[in-house]
Amino acid sequence: MSSNLTVLASWFRLKYPHIALGALASSAPILYFDDITPQDGYYSIVSRVFREASGTCYQTIKNSWAEIDELASKSNGLSMLSEKFKTCNPLTDASKLKDHLNTMYASAAQYNEPPTYPVNKVCAGIDGGGFGDDILSRIFGGLVAYNGNLPCYVNAHTDESETTVGWRWQECSELAMPIGIGNNSMFPPDPFDLEDYIESCKSFYGVPTRPHWVTTYYGGHSIKLILQRFGSNIIFSNGLRDPYSSGGVLENISDTIVAVSTVNGSHCLDLLFAKETDPEWLVAQRKIEIKIMKEWIDKYYVDLSMF
């Protein structure tokens, strides 16, 4: 949801330059709409982050999906999966388990921040084999490493916050990001299906999805050109280990619309409170952003004195 806020920040500056002096659009995937960005960009980066952390961990995860499906297809397979993964409720199909693991891996990569580095934690649990050497036992080890020791995992009842429900409505109605999974990742292929997305949104919220609204309203497939011609004072900051950076602005568009990227950064990391454990590259990134924003303010007061 933070990326949605920073997307809105960049558009707010573009639409209301007389109100907002500038915008820090951290991890804002403004190019992840209407097929401007390849649909598999997000999960390609998730996979790369895991592969760079541990090749064996990456391969174990990649091999695990077929193992889950094979066990689930047996007569008592779902019961065995429920027991293996200590699910909070008995599994009625394998999809809830796979969705849970998918979300865990994506979240670990997206928020792979220092000093804990969740991807390293997951892979340490998988590679360590503390619950057994077979693939599914290793995957469970990653689940425990990520979540800690809990009474149960997977499909627990949770009440979604109003904020989460509200953002999903926003994504259904206007901010439809076509995120899919291609053939070259550690996940099973799952291409984005617009018709299925529209039907799902309609059944859940009763609203029509407008997949082309963003590009129509903010400049079609030439959003960079629109920003260059009509925008100013926007910082697009991205950590290149953030899956959403695949839809981010990674190069300067003009002298006043600039890209600040860090090789090891994750999602909206520069917006978090500073800590003593922050690596030097993160400290330097924040200093660059503050310097740019100070220049905006200085210029504003100079302009104010002239008119």
Distance CA 26, CA 5 (A): 9
In our burial notation (b when 16+ CB lie closer than 10 A, e otherwise), range 222-252 reads ebbeebeeebbbbbbbbbbbbbbbbbbbeee
pLDDT tens over the chain, length 307 residues: 566 788 999 999 999 999 999 999 999 999 999 999 999 999 999 999 999 999 999 999 999 999 999 999 999 999 999 999 999 999 999 999 999 999 999 999 999 999 999 999 999 999 998 999 999 999 999 999 999 999 999 987 677 788 878 888 989 999 999 999 999 999 999 999 999 999 999 998 998 999 999 999 888 688 888 888 899 999 999 999 999 999 999 999 999 999 999 999 999 999 999 999 999 999 999 999 999 999 999 999 999 998 8
Distance CA 86, CA 100 (A): 13
**What is the structure's pLDDT at 226?**
87
Distance CA 287, CA 280 (A): 11
Distance CA 28, CA 4 (A): 7
Distance CA 163, CA 275 (A): 27
Distance CA 103, CA 246 (A): 18
**What is the structure's pLDDT at 306?**
87
From the number of C-beta atoms within 10 Å of its C-beta (0-12, 13-18, 19+), residue 279 rates as middle
Domain 2-34+219-306 superfamily per CATH: Alpha/Beta hydrolase fold, catalytic domain (3.40.50.1820)
155's CB contacts (< 8 A; 6+ apart) are 87, 88, 89, 91, 96, 97, 100
**What is the structure's pLDDT at 3?**
67
| CA-wise closest residue to 17 among 9, 7, 29, 27 | 9
Domain boundaries, the chain: 2-34+219-306, 39-211
Give the CATH architecture of domain 39-211: Up-down Bundle (1.20)
The encoded tokens of residue 151 equal: 């009474």
Asked if 2-34+219-306 and 39-211 have one fold, the answer is no
